[in-house]
Amino acid sequence: MLPEDAAAAIGRAASTSFSDYIASQNPTALPSARNVGSNGSGSSTELAPHATTIVSLTYAGGVLMAGDRRATMGNVIASRHIEKVFPADMFSVLGIAGSAGIALDVTRLFQVELEHYEKIEGTRMSLDGKANRLAAMVRANLPLALQGLAVVPLFAGFDTTRRIGRLFSYDVTGGRYEEQEHHSVGSGSVFARGALKKLWKPNLGEDEAVKVAVEALYDAADDDSATGGPDVVRQLWPVVYTVNGAGNRRIPERSLAQAAQEIIASRSVSGREA
């Protein structure tokens, strides 16, 4: 057992924010504490894998988030298997774009942050509270963003008070913006957003929403070399999560394979070049 004075000191230092606690005890352990510096061998964006593209949209009863599987390093494909969408807690999901390594560290820290709050307070943080905590983490990464290692997440969740799905975007300064209906981030986001505008409609069913997300990523991959499309040869499909009143759920690979193959088949049959 800890000595009484040590236990008391830990109790005094504890707070509802795990990241604030780490900042006070061991600030060098935080992702934002890294210092890339300059080694003369090229820019940070050329040396570190970057994650692209994330889409999110609301549907009847919840919200969906999907990400492609490609990471790039300059003009090289660094990975075809990376996952960019993760559960933050039972009722929220987080998608990452930008510097992959730092974004993954921020994701893990955010997951622990929410779990820590729940254990300290005995209740889940509100969806707005989660969005604000994530904004603070993005803001803390600004010095690295100025060195070319930006982290730009997309956050979505089910608001258990309002009983609706909501989604939030961020800029590198930690600005938090609630989006309506749908949104996309990453290098292919311009093309994905154009597809979402045409394909999204109110009160989509869950299966329809999955198809819309897969097709938006397909269109992004068609015009953006940093975005990976469905890979039939390697059997690689986007990572897709839905969040509703029952919590988050990862869409099975077989469902994604079927959605992707239907898109490919329909465009092949119609003889579409674009």
CA distance 97 to 58: 20
Q: What are the tokens at 250?
A: 């990862």
Distances (CA, A) of 113 to 19, 32, 177: 7, 15, 21
Yes or no: say if 175 and 141 are a contact pair by the CB < 8 Å rule: no
- Sign of the C-alpha dihedral computed for residues 14, 20, 26 and 29 taken in this order: positive
Copy the structure tokens of residue 28.
């060098």
Rounded to an integer, what distance in angstroms lies between the CA atom of residue 137 and that of residue 197?
A: 30
Is 107 marked active-site?
no
Q: Which residues pair with 164 in a beta bridge?
A: 159
Distance in angstroms (rounded) separating the CA atoms of residues 109 and 235: 31
Degrees, nearest 5: CA angle 175-49-176? 10
| CB-based burial, 250-260: b 16+ in 10 Å, e otherwise | ebeeeebbbbb
Cα 171–Cα 172–Cα 173 angle in degrees, nearest 5: 90
What value, to the nearest 5°, has the Cα angle with vertex 163 and ends 128 and 190? 65
Considering the candidates 45, 52, 58, 161, report the single residue annotated as catalytic.
52
Q: How far, CA to CA in Å, does 98 sit from each of 41, 76, 113, 169, 269?
A: 20, 15, 21, 13, 36
Q: Count CA within 13 A, CB hemisphere, residue 112.
A: 13
Residues belonging to the active site: 52
